[in-house]
A and B are shown apart, each in its own frame.
Chain A
Amino acid sequence: MKELEQSIRKHIEEAGLAELLPGFDTEAAWQEIDARLRPRSKRLQLRPVLPYAAILLAGLCTACLLYVLPGRQKQEKLTAMRSVRRPSAPLLKSPVPIAIPVPDSSPTPLMAAKPRKQGSRQPLGQQEALPSPDPATPLPVLQGDEPVSPLVLQQPPLRKVRHYLDEAEAEVPEAEHTGRVTAAQVPVRVKHFLDIDNENRGRMQPEPGSTAPMLSFRFKLNKPGKAGDNERPATPPIRAFIYSSIK
Protein backbone atom coordinates (compact mmCIF):
# COMPACT_ATOMS: atom_id res chain seq x y z
CA MET A 1 0.00 0.00 0.00
CA LYS A 2 2.86 2.34 0.83
CA GLU A 3 4.34 1.70 -2.58
CA LEU A 4 1.15 2.72 -4.27
CA GLU A 5 1.00 5.97 -2.34
CA GLN A 6 4.66 6.80 -2.87
CA SER A 7 4.33 6.05 -6.55
CA ILE A 8 1.35 8.38 -6.90
CA ARG A 9 3.16 11.11 -4.99
CA LYS A 10 6.28 10.76 -7.08
CA HIS A 11 4.37 10.84 -10.35
CA ILE A 12 2.36 13.90 -9.45
CA GLU A 13 5.11 15.94 -7.83
CA GLU A 14 7.59 15.32 -10.60
CA ALA A 15 5.12 16.30 -13.25
CA GLY A 16 5.11 19.93 -14.33
CA LEU A 17 2.14 22.20 -14.24
CA ALA A 18 2.14 22.37 -18.03
CA GLU A 19 1.55 18.62 -18.14
CA LEU A 20 -1.17 18.54 -15.49
CA LEU A 21 -2.93 21.77 -16.39
CA PRO A 22 -1.96 22.95 -19.88
CA GLY A 23 -4.40 25.85 -19.98
CA PHE A 24 -3.14 27.60 -16.88
CA ASP A 25 -2.16 31.22 -17.67
CA THR A 26 0.69 32.01 -15.32
CA GLU A 27 1.04 35.64 -16.41
CA ALA A 28 -2.64 36.43 -15.97
CA ALA A 29 -2.59 34.94 -12.49
CA TRP A 30 0.42 37.09 -11.63
CA GLN A 31 -1.32 40.21 -12.88
CA GLU A 32 -4.24 39.49 -10.58
CA ILE A 33 -1.94 38.89 -7.64
CA ASP A 34 -0.01 42.06 -8.39
CA ALA A 35 -3.23 44.07 -8.62
CA ARG A 36 -4.34 42.75 -5.26
CA LEU A 37 -0.97 43.47 -3.71
CA ARG A 38 -0.84 47.02 -5.02
CA PRO A 39 -4.31 48.50 -5.11
CA ARG A 40 -2.76 51.97 -5.31
CA SER A 41 -1.52 51.24 -8.77
CA LYS A 42 -5.03 51.84 -10.11
CA ARG A 43 -5.11 55.19 -8.41
CA LEU A 44 -1.76 56.00 -9.91
CA GLN A 45 -3.17 55.18 -13.31
CA LEU A 46 -5.83 57.79 -12.75
CA ARG A 47 -3.36 60.39 -11.57
CA PRO A 48 -2.43 61.73 -15.05
CA VAL A 49 -6.11 62.18 -15.84
CA LEU A 50 -6.86 64.24 -12.75
CA PRO A 51 -5.52 67.61 -14.05
CA TYR A 52 -7.56 67.29 -17.21
CA ALA A 53 -10.62 66.38 -15.19
CA ALA A 54 -10.05 69.42 -12.96
CA ILE A 55 -9.68 71.70 -15.98
CA LEU A 56 -12.83 70.28 -17.51
CA LEU A 57 -14.73 70.78 -14.27
CA ALA A 58 -13.50 74.35 -13.97
CA GLY A 59 -14.55 75.04 -17.54
CA LEU A 60 -18.00 73.65 -16.88
CA CYS A 61 -18.36 75.79 -13.78
CA THR A 62 -17.28 78.90 -15.68
CA ALA A 63 -19.69 78.15 -18.50
CA CYS A 64 -22.51 77.69 -16.02
CA LEU A 65 -21.70 81.00 -14.35
CA LEU A 66 -21.53 82.79 -17.68
CA TYR A 67 -24.84 81.30 -18.66
CA VAL A 68 -26.66 81.92 -15.41
CA LEU A 69 -25.42 85.37 -14.44
CA PRO A 70 -26.44 87.22 -17.64
CA GLY A 71 -29.84 85.60 -17.37
CA ARG A 72 -30.23 86.98 -13.87
CA GLN A 73 -29.09 90.41 -14.89
CA LYS A 74 -31.47 90.37 -17.82
CA GLN A 75 -34.27 89.36 -15.54
CA GLU A 76 -33.49 92.20 -13.18
CA LYS A 77 -33.37 94.64 -16.06
CA LEU A 78 -36.70 93.44 -17.29
CA THR A 79 -38.18 94.02 -13.87
CA ALA A 80 -36.86 97.53 -13.81
CA MET A 81 -38.00 98.21 -17.35
CA ARG A 82 -41.43 96.97 -16.56
CA SER A 83 -41.77 99.42 -13.77
CA VAL A 84 -40.63 102.21 -16.08
CA ARG A 85 -42.75 101.19 -19.01
CA ARG A 86 -45.92 101.06 -17.05
CA PRO A 87 -46.35 104.39 -15.36
CA SER A 88 -49.56 104.98 -13.57
CA ALA A 89 -50.36 107.89 -15.85
CA PRO A 90 -48.79 109.85 -18.71
CA LEU A 91 -46.32 112.40 -17.52
CA LEU A 92 -47.12 116.03 -17.97
CA LYS A 93 -44.44 118.53 -17.40
CA SER A 94 -46.41 121.64 -17.89
CA PRO A 95 -48.92 123.00 -17.26
CA VAL A 96 -49.94 120.78 -14.39
CA PRO A 97 -51.49 121.32 -11.03
CA ILE A 98 -48.99 120.37 -8.37
CA ALA A 99 -49.51 119.39 -4.80
CA ILE A 100 -46.25 119.23 -2.90
CA PRO A 101 -46.22 118.27 0.74
CA VAL A 102 -44.23 120.09 3.34
CA PRO A 103 -41.13 118.00 4.08
CA ASP A 104 -41.49 117.57 7.80
CA SER A 105 -42.69 119.18 11.07
CA SER A 106 -46.48 119.05 10.79
CA PRO A 107 -48.15 115.70 11.56
CA THR A 108 -50.05 115.61 8.29
CA PRO A 109 -48.65 118.32 6.14
CA LEU A 110 -50.55 117.50 3.05
CA MET A 111 -53.85 117.43 4.81
CA ALA A 112 -53.27 121.00 5.97
CA ALA A 113 -52.81 122.29 2.48
CA LYS A 114 -54.02 125.76 1.63
CA PRO A 115 -54.89 127.13 -1.80
CA ARG A 116 -52.04 129.23 -2.91
CA LYS A 117 -52.11 132.28 -5.00
CA GLN A 118 -52.06 132.04 -8.72
CA GLY A 119 -48.78 132.90 -10.32
CA SER A 120 -46.76 132.76 -7.19
CA ARG A 121 -44.22 129.99 -6.80
CA GLN A 122 -42.61 128.96 -3.58
CA PRO A 123 -39.43 127.06 -3.16
CA LEU A 124 -39.80 123.36 -3.58
CA GLY A 125 -39.39 122.45 0.06
CA GLN A 126 -41.93 124.99 1.18
CA GLN A 127 -44.64 124.25 -1.31
CA GLU A 128 -47.94 123.07 0.03
CA ALA A 129 -50.55 120.76 -1.34
CA LEU A 130 -53.32 122.14 -3.48
CA PRO A 131 -56.95 121.58 -2.62
CA SER A 132 -58.82 118.98 -4.56
CA PRO A 133 -59.86 120.31 -7.91
CA ASP A 134 -63.39 121.45 -8.36
CA PRO A 135 -64.89 120.97 -11.82
CA ALA A 136 -66.67 124.30 -11.50
CA THR A 137 -63.61 126.36 -10.66
CA PRO A 138 -60.50 126.18 -12.75
CA LEU A 139 -57.45 124.65 -11.19
CA PRO A 140 -54.47 126.78 -10.38
CA VAL A 141 -51.89 126.18 -13.00
CA LEU A 142 -48.15 126.50 -12.93
CA GLN A 143 -46.55 127.58 -16.13
CA GLY A 144 -43.81 125.29 -17.35
CA ASP A 145 -41.03 125.79 -19.79
CA GLU A 146 -42.08 123.33 -22.44
CA PRO A 147 -45.16 123.51 -24.63
CA VAL A 148 -47.84 120.90 -24.11
CA SER A 149 -49.26 119.02 -27.01
CA PRO A 150 -53.03 118.93 -27.54
CA LEU A 151 -53.04 115.19 -27.01
CA VAL A 152 -51.51 115.60 -23.61
CA LEU A 153 -53.92 118.34 -22.73
CA GLN A 154 -56.80 116.00 -23.39
CA GLN A 155 -55.63 113.72 -20.61
CA PRO A 156 -57.24 114.15 -17.21
CA PRO A 157 -55.32 116.56 -15.07
CA LEU A 158 -52.65 115.09 -12.89
CA ARG A 159 -51.46 115.75 -9.46
CA LYS A 160 -47.79 115.31 -9.10
CA VAL A 161 -47.23 114.19 -5.60
CA ARG A 162 -43.87 114.17 -4.00
CA HIS A 163 -44.04 112.99 -0.49
CA TYR A 164 -41.61 114.34 1.92
CA LEU A 165 -39.30 111.42 1.93
CA ASP A 166 -37.76 112.48 -1.39
CA GLU A 167 -36.98 108.96 -2.46
CA ALA A 168 -40.36 108.19 -3.94
CA GLU A 169 -42.27 110.00 -6.58
CA ALA A 170 -45.63 109.15 -8.06
CA GLU A 171 -48.04 110.44 -10.63
CA VAL A 172 -51.60 109.83 -9.66
CA PRO A 173 -54.45 110.50 -12.06
CA GLU A 174 -57.18 112.58 -10.61
CA ALA A 175 -60.68 111.29 -10.73
CA GLU A 176 -63.09 113.10 -12.97
CA HIS A 177 -65.94 115.26 -11.63
CA THR A 178 -65.56 114.47 -7.97
CA GLY A 179 -62.12 115.83 -7.48
CA ARG A 180 -61.42 113.06 -4.99
CA VAL A 181 -59.23 110.13 -5.50
CA THR A 182 -60.55 106.84 -4.29
CA ALA A 183 -59.02 103.43 -3.99
CA ALA A 184 -61.05 101.98 -6.80
CA GLN A 185 -60.12 104.71 -9.19
CA VAL A 186 -56.42 104.77 -8.54
CA PRO A 187 -54.80 101.36 -8.52
CA VAL A 188 -51.30 102.42 -7.58
CA ARG A 189 -48.65 99.85 -7.38
CA VAL A 190 -46.05 100.41 -4.76
CA LYS A 191 -43.09 99.86 -6.97
CA HIS A 192 -44.08 102.89 -9.00
CA PHE A 193 -43.44 104.97 -5.99
CA LEU A 194 -40.20 103.45 -5.19
CA ASP A 195 -36.95 105.04 -6.14
CA ILE A 196 -34.96 101.86 -6.48
CA ASP A 197 -31.59 103.53 -6.80
CA ASN A 198 -32.04 105.51 -3.62
CA GLU A 199 -34.05 103.01 -1.74
CA ASN A 200 -31.45 102.46 0.91
CA ARG A 201 -31.48 106.09 1.81
CA GLY A 202 -35.06 105.89 2.94
CA ARG A 203 -35.69 106.80 6.52
CA MET A 204 -36.83 103.93 8.61
CA GLN A 205 -37.19 105.84 11.84
CA PRO A 206 -40.57 107.40 12.39
CA GLU A 207 -40.88 111.10 12.76
CA PRO A 208 -43.23 112.41 15.37
CA GLY A 209 -46.70 112.66 14.01
CA SER A 210 -45.76 111.42 10.58
CA THR A 211 -46.93 108.43 8.58
CA ALA A 212 -43.62 108.14 6.83
CA PRO A 213 -42.42 105.00 8.63
CA MET A 214 -45.48 103.11 7.58
CA LEU A 215 -44.99 104.19 3.99
CA SER A 216 -41.34 103.34 4.02
CA PHE A 217 -42.07 99.97 5.49
CA ARG A 218 -44.56 99.22 2.77
CA PHE A 219 -42.08 100.23 0.12
CA LYS A 220 -39.58 97.84 1.53
CA LEU A 221 -42.02 94.99 1.47
CA ASN A 222 -43.02 95.54 -2.12
CA LYS A 223 -39.65 96.03 -3.66
CA PRO A 224 -39.77 94.84 -7.28
CA GLY A 225 -38.02 91.61 -7.99
CA LYS A 226 -38.14 90.39 -4.41
CA ALA A 227 -40.52 88.29 -2.39
CA GLY A 228 -43.93 89.88 -2.07
CA ASP A 229 -43.80 91.65 -5.38
CA ASN A 230 -46.84 90.17 -6.99
CA GLU A 231 -47.97 93.18 -8.99
CA ARG A 232 -50.79 94.03 -6.67
CA PRO A 233 -52.08 97.52 -6.05
CA ALA A 234 -50.79 99.52 -3.15
CA THR A 235 -51.87 98.39 0.24
CA PRO A 236 -54.58 100.39 1.96
CA PRO A 237 -52.25 102.25 4.36
CA ILE A 238 -50.17 103.52 1.49
CA ARG A 239 -53.19 104.49 -0.52
CA ALA A 240 -54.60 106.32 2.45
CA PHE A 241 -51.39 108.22 2.82
CA ILE A 242 -51.20 109.11 -0.82
CA TYR A 243 -54.80 110.16 -1.05
CA SER A 244 -54.52 112.27 2.03
CA SER A 245 -51.47 113.96 0.59
CA ILE A 246 -53.28 114.65 -2.66
CA LYS A 247 -56.11 116.34 -0.90
Chain B
Amino acid sequence: MNIPLNPIKYEDEFELVAACKQQVAVAQNALYRRYSGPLMILCLRYIGNAEEAKEVLMDALVAAFRSIERFEYIGPGSLQAWLRRLTVNQCLMLLRKRKLQFTELGMQHEEQAADAGKDNIIAALSAKEMMHMVQALPPGYRTVFNLYVFEEMSHKEIAELLGISEGTAKSQLHKARLQLQKQMKQSQSVGL
Protein backbone atom coordinates (compact mmCIF):
# COMPACT_ATOMS: atom_id res chain seq x y z
CA MET B 1 0.00 0.00 0.00
CA ASN B 2 1.38 3.38 -0.99
CA ILE B 3 1.32 5.85 1.85
CA PRO B 4 0.96 9.48 0.77
CA LEU B 5 3.34 11.95 2.38
CA ASN B 6 1.02 14.91 1.95
CA PRO B 7 -1.26 15.31 4.99
CA ILE B 8 -4.06 16.56 2.74
CA LYS B 9 -4.22 13.14 1.16
CA TYR B 10 -5.03 11.47 4.48
CA GLU B 11 -8.69 12.31 4.22
CA ASP B 12 -9.65 8.69 4.43
CA GLU B 13 -9.47 7.49 8.02
CA PHE B 14 -8.45 4.02 6.96
CA GLU B 15 -5.40 5.36 5.13
CA LEU B 16 -4.62 7.59 8.06
CA VAL B 17 -4.72 4.71 10.51
CA ALA B 18 -2.61 2.54 8.22
CA ALA B 19 0.03 5.23 7.91
CA CYS B 20 0.02 5.92 11.64
CA LYS B 21 0.53 2.21 12.26
CA GLN B 22 3.73 2.52 10.23
CA GLN B 23 4.75 5.52 12.35
CA VAL B 24 4.70 7.92 9.42
CA ALA B 25 5.30 11.35 10.91
CA VAL B 26 3.18 13.17 8.33
CA ALA B 27 0.22 10.90 9.04
CA GLN B 28 0.62 11.35 12.77
CA ASN B 29 0.65 15.08 12.25
CA ALA B 30 -2.49 14.83 10.12
CA LEU B 31 -4.24 12.83 12.83
CA TYR B 32 -3.16 15.34 15.43
CA ARG B 33 -4.46 18.26 13.40
CA ARG B 34 -7.76 16.55 12.82
CA TYR B 35 -8.54 15.44 16.38
CA SER B 36 -6.49 17.60 18.73
CA GLY B 37 -9.23 20.27 18.95
CA PRO B 38 -12.11 18.03 20.10
CA LEU B 39 -9.77 16.07 22.34
CA MET B 40 -8.47 19.23 23.96
CA ILE B 41 -12.05 20.36 24.64
CA LEU B 42 -12.69 16.97 26.20
CA CYS B 43 -9.65 17.37 28.44
CA LEU B 44 -10.79 20.84 29.44
CA ARG B 45 -14.16 19.48 30.50
CA TYR B 46 -12.61 16.88 32.76
CA ILE B 47 -9.58 18.67 34.09
CA GLY B 48 -10.57 22.32 34.17
CA ASN B 49 -7.05 23.73 34.17
CA ALA B 50 -5.82 24.51 30.64
CA GLU B 51 -2.14 23.67 31.27
CA GLU B 52 -2.94 20.35 32.89
CA ALA B 53 -5.46 19.62 30.14
CA LYS B 54 -2.75 20.20 27.57
CA GLU B 55 -0.41 17.80 29.35
CA VAL B 56 -3.13 15.17 29.48
CA LEU B 57 -3.86 15.66 25.78
CA MET B 58 -0.22 15.14 24.88
CA ASP B 59 0.03 12.06 27.08
CA ALA B 60 -3.08 10.66 25.47
CA LEU B 61 -1.88 11.28 21.93
CA VAL B 62 1.54 9.84 22.61
CA ALA B 63 -0.12 6.77 24.08
CA ALA B 64 -2.40 6.62 21.05
CA PHE B 65 0.46 6.77 18.55
CA ARG B 66 2.34 4.10 20.45
CA SER B 67 -0.61 1.74 20.75
CA ILE B 68 -2.32 2.38 17.44
CA GLU B 69 -1.10 -0.97 16.14
CA ARG B 70 -3.64 -2.62 18.42
CA PHE B 71 -6.48 -0.48 17.06
CA GLU B 72 -8.75 -2.06 14.47
CA TYR B 73 -10.53 0.27 12.13
CA ILE B 74 -14.15 -0.86 11.85
CA GLY B 75 -15.68 2.10 10.08
CA PRO B 76 -16.06 5.88 10.05
CA GLY B 77 -15.97 7.37 13.53
CA SER B 78 -14.27 4.41 15.12
CA LEU B 79 -10.92 6.19 15.23
CA GLN B 80 -12.39 9.22 16.92
CA ALA B 81 -14.30 7.07 19.40
CA TRP B 82 -11.10 5.17 20.21
CA LEU B 83 -9.18 8.40 20.70
CA ARG B 84 -11.91 9.82 22.92
CA ARG B 85 -11.96 6.73 25.08
CA LEU B 86 -8.21 6.80 25.40
CA THR B 87 -8.23 10.49 26.33
CA VAL B 88 -11.00 10.01 28.88
CA ASN B 89 -8.98 7.23 30.51
CA GLN B 90 -6.00 9.54 30.62
CA CYS B 91 -8.10 12.23 32.31
CA LEU B 92 -9.45 9.75 34.83
CA MET B 93 -5.92 8.60 35.61
CA LEU B 94 -4.97 12.13 36.52
CA LEU B 95 -8.11 12.58 38.60
CA ARG B 96 -7.42 9.33 40.45
CA LYS B 97 -3.96 10.60 41.26
CA ARG B 98 -5.62 13.59 42.86
CA LYS B 99 -7.76 11.24 44.96
CA LEU B 100 -11.12 12.10 43.46
CA GLN B 101 -13.75 12.28 46.21
CA PHE B 102 -17.49 11.83 45.92
CA THR B 103 -19.88 13.28 48.45
CA GLU B 104 -23.43 12.02 49.07
CA LEU B 105 -26.47 14.20 48.45
CA GLY B 106 -29.42 14.81 50.79
CA MET B 107 -33.16 14.65 49.91
CA GLN B 108 -33.61 18.39 50.10
CA HIS B 109 -31.36 18.88 47.13
CA GLU B 110 -33.31 16.38 45.04
CA GLU B 111 -36.48 18.39 45.55
CA GLN B 112 -34.70 21.52 44.53
CA ALA B 113 -33.36 19.79 41.47
CA ALA B 114 -36.82 18.69 40.44
CA ASP B 115 -38.00 22.26 40.67
CA ALA B 116 -35.01 23.59 38.87
CA GLY B 117 -35.53 21.29 35.91
CA LYS B 118 -38.59 23.15 34.92
CA ASP B 119 -36.68 26.28 34.07
CA ASN B 120 -35.30 26.77 30.62
CA ILE B 121 -32.50 29.23 31.04
CA ILE B 122 -29.80 28.04 28.71
CA ALA B 123 -30.73 29.79 25.54
CA ALA B 124 -28.78 32.96 26.19
CA LEU B 125 -25.55 31.27 27.30
CA SER B 126 -22.53 30.90 25.02
CA ALA B 127 -20.44 27.76 24.69
CA LYS B 128 -17.58 29.36 26.57
CA GLU B 129 -19.85 30.23 29.49
CA MET B 130 -21.18 26.70 29.55
CA MET B 131 -17.69 25.31 29.53
CA HIS B 132 -16.76 27.54 32.46
CA MET B 133 -19.80 26.28 34.34
CA VAL B 134 -18.84 22.69 33.77
CA GLN B 135 -15.26 23.41 34.74
CA ALA B 136 -16.46 25.15 37.89
CA LEU B 137 -18.12 21.95 39.14
CA PRO B 138 -16.32 20.02 41.87
CA PRO B 139 -14.19 17.21 40.40
CA GLY B 140 -16.54 14.42 41.50
CA TYR B 141 -19.67 16.04 40.06
CA ARG B 142 -17.86 17.09 36.95
CA THR B 143 -16.49 13.62 36.24
CA VAL B 144 -19.82 11.87 36.61
CA PHE B 145 -21.59 14.60 34.63
CA ASN B 146 -19.10 14.30 31.78
CA LEU B 147 -19.28 10.53 31.68
CA TYR B 148 -23.06 10.50 31.77
CA VAL B 149 -23.81 13.40 29.43
CA PHE B 150 -20.91 13.45 26.99
CA GLU B 151 -19.75 9.81 26.97
CA GLU B 152 -23.32 8.54 27.30
CA MET B 153 -22.44 6.02 29.94
CA SER B 154 -24.99 4.45 32.24
CA HIS B 155 -24.81 4.81 36.00
CA LYS B 156 -23.71 1.21 36.24
CA GLU B 157 -20.82 1.77 33.82
CA ILE B 158 -19.83 4.96 35.61
CA ALA B 159 -19.91 3.17 38.95
CA GLU B 160 -17.69 0.39 37.64
CA LEU B 161 -15.29 2.80 35.99
CA LEU B 162 -14.89 5.01 39.03
CA GLY B 163 -15.14 2.27 41.62
CA ILE B 164 -18.20 3.73 43.33
CA SER B 165 -21.78 2.58 43.87
CA GLU B 166 -24.57 3.36 41.41
CA GLY B 167 -26.31 5.42 44.06
CA THR B 168 -23.22 7.56 44.47
CA ALA B 169 -23.01 8.02 40.71
CA LYS B 170 -26.65 9.10 40.56
CA SER B 171 -26.30 11.50 43.45
CA GLN B 172 -23.17 13.02 41.96
CA LEU B 173 -24.97 13.60 38.67
CA HIS B 174 -27.95 15.10 40.43
CA LYS B 175 -25.80 17.46 42.41
CA ALA B 176 -23.98 18.49 39.27
CA ARG B 177 -27.26 19.35 37.61
CA LEU B 178 -28.33 21.38 40.60
CA GLN B 179 -25.14 23.36 40.62
CA LEU B 180 -25.32 23.98 36.89
CA GLN B 181 -28.87 25.29 37.16
CA LYS B 182 -27.86 27.48 40.03
CA GLN B 183 -24.99 28.91 38.04
CA MET B 184 -27.23 29.49 35.03
CA LYS B 185 -29.72 31.39 37.13
CA GLN B 186 -26.97 33.51 38.53
CA SER B 187 -25.57 34.28 35.10
CA GLN B 188 -29.07 35.08 33.81
CA SER B 189 -29.75 37.45 36.67
CA VAL B 190 -26.42 39.16 36.09
CA GLY B 191 -27.18 39.44 32.38
CA LEU B 192 -30.61 40.94 32.99
Contact = CB atoms under 8 A, between A and B. Distances in A.
Contact of A12 (B23, B28, B113, B131): B131
B149 interface: yes
A23 B40 CA distance: 12
Interface stretch (A28-36, A56-64, A93-101, A130-138): A28-36
Interface stretch (B10-18, B120-128, B163-171): B120-128
Contact of A4 (B61, B150, B177): B177
B50 interface: yes
Contacts of A30: 29, 32-33, 36
Contact of A37 (B62, B122, B128, B180): B62
B78 to A, nearest CB: 18
A197 interface: no
B54 A29 contact: yes
B83 to A, nearest CB: 13
Given A4-B122, A9-B149, A12-B41, A19 B58 contact: no
A37 B65 contact: yes
Interface string A19-52: 1110110100110111011100000000000000
Contacts of A145: none
A180 to B, nearest CB: 96
Contact of B181 (A4, A14, A20): A4
A103 to B, nearest CB: 87
B30 to A, nearest CB: 11
Contact of B122 (A7, A21, A24): A7
B40 A3 contact: no
A33 B58 contact: yes
A227 interface: no
Interface in B87-116: 113
Nearest to A21: B50
A11 interface: yes
A15 B128 contact: yes
Contact of A13 (B33, B38, B62, B120): B38
A33 B32 contact: yes
B122 A8 contact: yes
B57 interface: yes
Contacts of A3: 120
A17 B148 CA distance: 22
A3 B180 CA distance: 13
Interface in B124-167: 125-128, 130-131, 133-134, 148-150
Interface in B11-68: 23, 25, 28-29, 32-33, 36-38, 40-41, 44-45, 50, 54, 57-58, 61-62, 65-66
B117 interface: yes
A16 interface: yes
Given A24-B54, A34-B25, A34-B28, 10 more contacts: A8-B133, A14-B127, A17-B38, A21-B44, A23-B50, A30-B33, A33-B62, A36-B58, A36-B62, A37-B28
Interface of A: 1, 3-9, 11-17, 19-21, 23-24, 26, 29-30, 32-34, 36-38
Q: Which 9 pairs show the lowest CB-CB distances between chains A and B?
A: A15-B127, A17-B37, A1-B117, A11-B127, A5-B149, A7-B122, A11-B130, A36-B62, A8-B130
21 contacts: A4-B177, A9-B149, A11-B122, A11-B126, A15-B41, A15-B127, A15-B128, A16-B37, A17-B41, A20-B127, A21-B41, A21-B50, A29-B57, A29-B58, A30-B32, A30-B36, A33-B58, A34-B25, A34-B29, A36-B58, A37-B23
Interface of B: 23, 25, 28-29, 32-33, 36-38, 40-41, 44-45, 50, 54, 57-58, 61-62, 65-66, 113, 117, 120, 122, 125-128, 130-131, 133-134, 148-150, 177, 180-181
